[in-house]
Structure 1
């Protein structure tokens, strides 16, 4: 354990990593990579969710204010927004239903409900992609770090037995290296857990919002069906 190294330097994060056992190093590197991956997912999803909410506000406001729905959909129906896809799916199903010689209004309403509900579910599946990685890191990182800690402490006790010296100066560096692995595990897990809960909550709110929008649009199309002969 490089006794020539000053104690302050020996306890620095870099020194703890460099002097750690190869297994503990592998654990630390894996957890650091998981942390970087986690932050990439957090930033990407948080930015995308904020953008979608902002653009959805504008789209829905303009949609309900539009005098000509067909013209509005032709202009903005192809946008990569959940609300736009719901509108396109609803109108497509409505046109298919009224295109039949004898319109089955009850069946048409059921198909509209099914089609738009499926579109809402599809959008939520797409937006929640890779969130399971945050949950995995949050639940597994502390235990992976703990494995590195246990391994490092075992080696420290082995070193004590080999040196026949129970001095704290002998065992402290090894134990510090081992505990550093747990610290990195928590460093990866805590942001992942918080972000997973926050992003899941944001997606739940978006799902409720899209469901309300789909229900309102469904009511509009149902009234149009009543006018069909």
Structure 2
């Protein structure tokens, strides 16, 4: 009977030990030093904001591509391009703003007689290229946060790790014991800060690289559209 009691107690103790050593992120956060906690909170907020940008940008670039495709088809099919280039359309579609910039310059340059055809062509091309660059810059503006998070978050997490390890060494000196029971909790909390830094950085880097490529392709699409509009306006100049 005593042997059975001892066996039962040992089993309960083993079960209790296993439960206590299970990884609990919330417990690691609550037990961490205030500096490490601040680092963790900052990294979690950065991760949340990064995911908000990722979702928002995905929806935005998809919507702009659909709008541009529909607008460009209507632009080439329409005979009344003044209506297609109305301010209502320009406000919503980047392709409309690009074409509108070229047409505005064409109107200004053809008011004076005689028309300087070469100079007009150069000014139209410059106006549309500037608008294309402005559209691309506006689209890629928020991606800078993803780049910053991807490059800085691991080092911020590393700072939390270093601080936590320093705190663990302080506990070794205070308790005059280098046993794992003394240093393991602090080291686990410190490494958790690095894990959160990587959790914030990896999606941000992947999304930044992917979205940068999509912005470049969208800019190239706008530039091809601008080239076609420029060619059409050049033919109008030849007939003027």
TM-score, normalised relative to structure 2: 0.89
- Ranges in structure 2 where 5+ consecutive residues have no aligned partner: 1-15
Tell me how far apart the structure 1 counterparts of residues 204 and 138 of structure 2 sit (CA, whole Å). Answer: 19
Determine the structure 2 residue equivalent to 1:116. Answer: 128
Q: 1:6 to 1:22 in 2, by over 3 A?
A: farther
Residue 7 of structure 1 and its aligned partner are, at CA, apart by 5.3
How big is the alpha-carbon RMSD for the aligned residues of Structure 1 and Structure 2? 1.8
Counterpart of 2:177 in 1: which secondary structure? Answer: coil
Equivalent residues in 2 for 1:146-161 (5 A)? 146-161=158-173
Residue 67 of structure 1 and its aligned partner are, at CA, apart by 2.4
Tell me how far apart the structure 1 counterparts of residues 99 and 49 of structure 2 sit (CA, whole Å). Answer: 35
Q: Which of the numbers 82, 85, 94 marks the counterpart of 1:82? A: 94
Determine the structure 2 residue equivalent to 1:140. Answer: 152
Deviates more, 1:136-145 or 1:124-133: 124-133
Determine the structure 1 residue equivalent to 2:221. Answer: 209
Determine the structure 2 residue equivalent to 1:185. Answer: 197
Residue 95 of structure 1 and its aligned partner are, at CA, apart by 0.9
Determine the structure 2 residue equivalent to 1:162. Answer: 174
- Per-residue Cα deviation, 1:159-210 (whole angstroms, up to 9, x for no partner): 1222122221221111100000000000110111011111101000001000
Equivalent residues in 2 for 1:34-113 (5 A)? 34-74=46-86, 77-113=89-125
- Ranges in structure 1 where 5+ consecutive residues have no aligned partner: none
Larger of the two Rg values belongs to structure: 2
Q: 1:13 to 1:166 in 2, by over 3 A?
A: same
TM-score, normalised relative to structure 1: 0.93
Residue 76 of structure 1 and its aligned partner are, at CA, apart by 5.8
Higher RCO, 1 or 2 (CA under 8 Å, sep at least 6)? 1
| Number of residue pairs aligned between Structure 1 and Structure 2 | 225
